[in-house]
């Protein structure tokens, strides 16, 4: 990697999940499924559902939580990046709505669309802005109201997803021992046919026909995605460790995208990381798309489980396909 002017460190975390819960018993009532199948095939016990408002509600509350925990004023923020595939509207960007809601009067910002890898890609983008020396306080938010695009008659997919928002603040440091050290990120558009939402965009603008054909919901061929996700996430995480001369013993935490406990387990195994060093919240929230990784970071840090100097690998796989891994050294006490 080229020599950087500054390193980018995480200096704050925040998160929000709505109160309403859909547990596995709820799905037993609406589709042909059962608690045992869901738990053993996915690791999910329950998910949170946002009744009122769009993704900006989740993103705003996560941002407010972060600001409150740091006792920081929103006018200090330079940039807001919101990773989401469920924006309130195509435009304006959800980042603009968050900016207004929190009163970040000096910020610019934008949305980034990379599905389940959204936070990872937004985190890299935010870090690069900080590393350049051009921006000092970048808020990166991962938020998705997945319940707005889930087909609750599709038993293959409806049991998987939940709603959440989570945020990190990124700032510069001259100490190169901390913060983002390296990333490997990839996209491969040949995956577009097995995980997508076909309707609503410029290819298939909304019509009665697109609605009748159920084109405004998430479509996923689970088995096909599972195979590439296991390999994609495990290989890239392993490659990043090798590139940085790390072994499983060096790593304090793997923070994987929470799509399926079996994918997470396979990734950890390939990296030689024991399960107790893997951040997990899929059991309580399901797959919250862009919010999985930052919500894990927020929960584990606040529980006192993450220490300054801990070596951490973030890893994700999602629609696109998009995937990647980032290696960082935690800098907060
Ligand atoms: O986050 C973005 C990336 N996404 C992912 O990484 C998700 C990847 N995919 C997966 O996590 C898994 O493929 C699923 C959890 C979606 C499905 O698990 P699976 O072990 O791949 O199951 P399957 O699709 O092969 O289905 C096995 C059986 C089928 O029945 P038959 O054909 O064997 O009789 C399904 O019809 O399980 C059936 N099935 C269900 N049974 C009870 C599918 N969904 C359900 C359900 N309840 N909800």
Q: Which string of b and e fits 262-291 if b means at least 16 CB within 10 Å?
A: ebbbbbbebbebeeebbbbbbebbbbbbbb
The dihedral of CA 244, 248, 250, 253: what is its sign? Answer: positive
Residue closest by Cα to atom 39 of ligand 1: 156
Q: Which two tokens stand for residue 287?
A: 């797959």
Q: Check residue 60 and give its pLDDT.
A: 98
Class of domain 7-173: alpha beta
Domain boundaries, the chain: 7-173, 179-329
Provide the angle, in degrees to the nearest 10, between the axes of the packed helices 222-243 and 261-271.
Answer: 30
- Phi, psi for 132 (deg, rounded to 5): -70, -20
- Model's pTM, two decimal places? 0.97
Catalytic residue among 7, 24, 96, 116: 116
Topology alike, domains 7-173 and 179-329? yes
Length of the chain: 333
Q: Is 208 a catalytic residue?
A: no
Q: Check residue 117 and give its pLDDT.
A: 98
In the block, tokens 């603008």 appear at 205
Cα(156) to centroid(ligand 1), Å: 6
Q: How many CA atoms lie within 13 A of 289 on its CB side?
A: 32
| Ligand 1 residue neighbourhood (C-beta within 6 Å) | 33, 37, 41-42, 116, 155-156, 159, 222-223, 225-226, 229, 259-260, 263, 287, 317-318
Give the pLDDT confidence of 279-303 residue by residue, as tens digits: 999 999 999 999 999 999 999 999 9
How much is the average pLDDT of 6-19?
A: 98
Cα(261) to centroid(ligand 1), Å: 13
pLDDT category of residue 269 using cuts at 50, 70 and 90: very high
Cα(89) to centroid(ligand 1), Å: 30
Q: Report in angstroms the alpha-carbon separations of 293 from 51, 131, 258.
A: 23, 21, 8
Residue closest by Cα to atom 42 of ligand 1: 33
Give the pLDDT confidence of 143-202 residue by residue, as tens digits: 999 999 999 999 999 999 999 999 999 999 999 999 999 999 999 999 999 999 999 999
The answer to whether residue 7 scores a pLDDT higher than 60 is: yes
Residues 77 and 184 sit within 8 Å (Cβ to Cβ): no
Architecture per CATH, domain 179-329, reads as 3-Layer(aba) Sandwich (3.40)
Give the pLDDT confidence of 14-32 residue by residue, as tens digits: 999 999 999 999 999 999 9
Percent of the chain predicted with pLDDT > 70: 99
Q: Check residue 156 and give its pLDDT.
A: 96
Q: Check residue 5 and give its pLDDT.
A: 87
Cα(42) to centroid(ligand 1), Å: 8
Q: Is 287 a catalytic residue?
A: yes
Q: Is 157 a catalytic residue?
A: no
């Amino acid at each position: 990697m080229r020599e950087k002017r500054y390193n980018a460190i995480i200096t704050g975390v925040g998160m929000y999940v709505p109160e309403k819960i859909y547990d596995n018993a709820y799905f037993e009532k609406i589709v042909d499924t059962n608690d045992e199948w869901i738990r053993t095939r996915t690791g999910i016990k329950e998910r949170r559902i946002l009744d009122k408002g769009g993704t900006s509600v989740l993103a705003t509350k996560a941002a407010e939580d972060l600001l409150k925990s740091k006792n920081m004023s929103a006018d200090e923020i330079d940039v807001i990046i919101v990773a989401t595939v469920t924006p309130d509207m195509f435009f304006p960007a959800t980042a603009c709505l968050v900016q207004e809601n929190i009163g970040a009067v000096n910020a610019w910002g934008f949305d980034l669309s990379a599905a389940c890898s959204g936070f990872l890609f937004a985190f890299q983008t935010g870090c690069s802005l900080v590393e350049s020396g051009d921006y000092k306080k970048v808020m990166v938010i991962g938020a998705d109201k997945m319940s707005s695009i889930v087909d609750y008659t599709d038993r293959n997919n409806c049991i998987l997803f939940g709603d959440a928002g989570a945020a990190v603040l990124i700032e510069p440091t001259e100490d190169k021992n901390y913060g983002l050290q390296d990333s490997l990120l990839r996209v491969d558009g040949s995956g577009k046919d097995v995980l997508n939402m076909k309707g609503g965009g410029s290819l298939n603008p909304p019509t009665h026909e697109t609605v009748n054909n159920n084109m405004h919901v998430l479509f996923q061929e689970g088995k096909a995605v599972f195979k590439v996700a296991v390999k994609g996430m495990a290989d890239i995480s392993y490659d990043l460790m090798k590139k940085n001369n790390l072994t499983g013993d060096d790593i304090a935490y793997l923070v994987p995208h929470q799509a399926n406990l079996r994918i997470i387990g396979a990734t950890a195994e390939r990296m030689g990381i024991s399960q107790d060093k893997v951040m997990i919240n899929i059991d309580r929230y399901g797959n919250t798309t862009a919010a999985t990784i930052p919500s894990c970071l927020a929960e584990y840090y606040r529980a006192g489980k993450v220490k300054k100097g801990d070596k951490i690998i973030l890893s994700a796989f999602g629609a696109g396909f998009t995937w990647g891994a980032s290696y960082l050294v935690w800098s907060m006490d």
